[in-house]
């Protein structure tokens, strides 16, 4: 591979001049520029990004830390992030954390050493102190789905509580008399907020009791398990609000296996709006987040900060909307 010095020599100029041509800064004579460009073409010269990164401490790379890419929610999110990054000439490094903080720690260490320009954090188990460490290193940070007291860090999240309320109201409106909630792991803010939304609506209804809230790990198996326990404890449940779509899918499977008809006997509503909610039968009613937009906004805002177009941190709450499908349907009594 040709280097900048090869180009300089062949064009009869100094490396500084070539660099100026490359970066379109400083004064360069038109003729000189043309000559340099010609040589660049001839040699098929491409500036070495690593050398560039070393010199100006920018790598054109951002990292996306997420629990696991195998969760469709994060697949879509990361697709958005990569699309947006590419449109701005950035590349993306992926990190599956499995929500393990040791793993997150390790990643952050590695990323720091690699001069990563910025990080999008979609994995929620990292403590505030750790985030502070990143900040100290001056790495711009965008966090998804959590509120932070500390200021120097952008946050983008969905209206989880509001979405949960929408879901439960919808279930009640379609005629449910007793609505249970399959909750995600309470370490995660999203899971907390959705549970809160559920509580907001049902807490004063006479049928409500704590045992209508079951843990489901945000996973398919968790959703299945929750339904089994639920039906045993509350055979009269006729509505389920699952804290995410994967649990809803699991719930649907379990209900089917138990011979309970959806939506005739039990209505079911998920949360997230992943594509797979249209793959089941019946299709799942769900509270859709603007997943792609979330990823795109996160990436574009992060890159804006990296490039110094803005130094303001953002705190965005994205709308959610209910998508009514076959798993909930108005019932007549």
Partner DNA sequence: ACAAAATATGTAACCGGTTACATATAGCAT
Partner DNA sequence: ATGCTATATGTAACCGGTTACATATTTTGT
d(C-alpha 76, C-alpha 274), whole Å: 8
d(C-alpha 263, C-alpha 163), whole Å: 20
Alpha helices by DSSP H, listed for the chain, are: 4-11, 15-23, 30-43, 49-56, 72-87, 101-113, 128-136, 160-173, 189-202, 220-233, 245-257, 291-306
CB count within 10 Å of CB 215 equals 17
Length of the chain: 333
Using rule CB under 8 A, residue 91 touches a second copy: yes
Which range of residues in 70-78, 123-131, 159-167, 299-307 is near a second copy by CB under 8 A? 70-78
Using rule CB under 8 A, residue 76 touches a second copy: yes
Residue 108 binding partner per list a second copy, DNA, none, with a CB distance cut-off of 5 to 8 Å that depends on partner kind: none
Taking CB under 8 A as the criterion, the residue among 35, 112, 234, 329 binding a second copy is: 112
Handedness of CA 65, 219, 125, 84 (dihedral sign): positive
Residue 4 binding partner per list a second copy, DNA, none, with a CB distance cut-off of 5 to 8 Å that depends on partner kind: DNA
Residue 127 binding partner per list a second copy, DNA, none, with a CB distance cut-off of 5 to 8 Å that depends on partner kind: none
Q: At what angle do helices 4-11 and 30-43 cross, to 10 degrees?
A: 120
Residue 28 binding partner per list a second copy, DNA, none, with a CB distance cut-off of 5 to 8 Å that depends on partner kind: DNA
Residue 32 binding partner per list DNA, a second copy, none, with a CB distance cut-off of 5 to 8 Å that depends on partner kind: DNA
Taking CB under 7 A as the criterion, the residue among 30, 102, 203, 235 binding DNA is: 30
Size of the site for DNA (CB under 7 A): 35
Nearest to 232 by CA among 198, 210, 255: 255
Taking CB under 8 A as the criterion, the residue among 9, 32, 75, 307 binding a second copy is: 75
Which range of residues in 22-30, 85-93, 171-179, 184-192 is near a second copy by CB under 8 A? 85-93
d(C-alpha 7, C-alpha 290), whole Å: 48
Residues forming contacts to DNA in the complex (CB under 7 A) are 1-5, 12-17, 19-20, 22-23, 25-33, 45-48, 50-52, 54-57
């Amino acid at each position: 591979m040709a280097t900048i010095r090869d180009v300089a020599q062949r064009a009869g100029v100094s490396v500084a001049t070539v660099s100026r041509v490359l970066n379109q800064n400083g004064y360069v004579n038109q003729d000189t520029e043309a000559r340099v460009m010609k040589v660049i073409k001839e040699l098929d010269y491409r500036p070495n990004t690593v050398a560039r990164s070393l010199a100006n401490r920018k790598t054109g790379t951002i990292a996306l830390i997420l629990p696991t890419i195998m969760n469709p929610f994060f697949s879509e999110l990361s697709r958005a992030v990569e699309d947006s990054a590419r449109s701005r000439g950035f590349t993306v490094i992926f990190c599956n954390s499995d929500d393990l903080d040791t793993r997150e720690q390790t990643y952050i260490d590695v990323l720091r050493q690699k001069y990563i320009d910025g990080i999008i954090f979609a994995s929620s188990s990292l403590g505030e102190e750790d985030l502070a460490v990143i900040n100290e290193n001056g790495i711009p940070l965008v966090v998804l789905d959590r509120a932070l007291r500390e200021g120097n860090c952008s946050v983008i999240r969905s209206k989880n509580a509001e979405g949960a309320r929408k879901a439960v109201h919808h279930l009640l409106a379609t005629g449910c008399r007793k609505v249970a909630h399959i909750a995600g792991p309470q370490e995660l803010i999203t899971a907390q907020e959705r549970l809160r939304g559920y509580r907001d609506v049902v807490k004063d209804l006479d049928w409500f009791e704590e045992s209508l809230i079951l843990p489901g790990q945000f996973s398919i198996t968790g959703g299945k398990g929750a339904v089994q326990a639920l039906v045993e404890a509350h055979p009269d449940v006729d509505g389920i609000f699952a804290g995410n779509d994967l649990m809803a899918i699991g719930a649907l499977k379990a209900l089917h296996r138990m011979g309970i008809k959806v939506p005739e006997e039990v209505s079911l509503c998920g949360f997230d709006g992943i594509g797979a909610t249209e793959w089941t039968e019946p299709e799942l009613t769900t509270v859709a987040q603007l997943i792609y937009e979330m990823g795109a906004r996160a990436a574009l805002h992060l890159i804006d900060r990296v490039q110094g177009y803005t130094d303001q941190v953002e705190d965005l709450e994205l709308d959610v909307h209910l998508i009514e499908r076959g798993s909930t349907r108005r019932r007549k009594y």
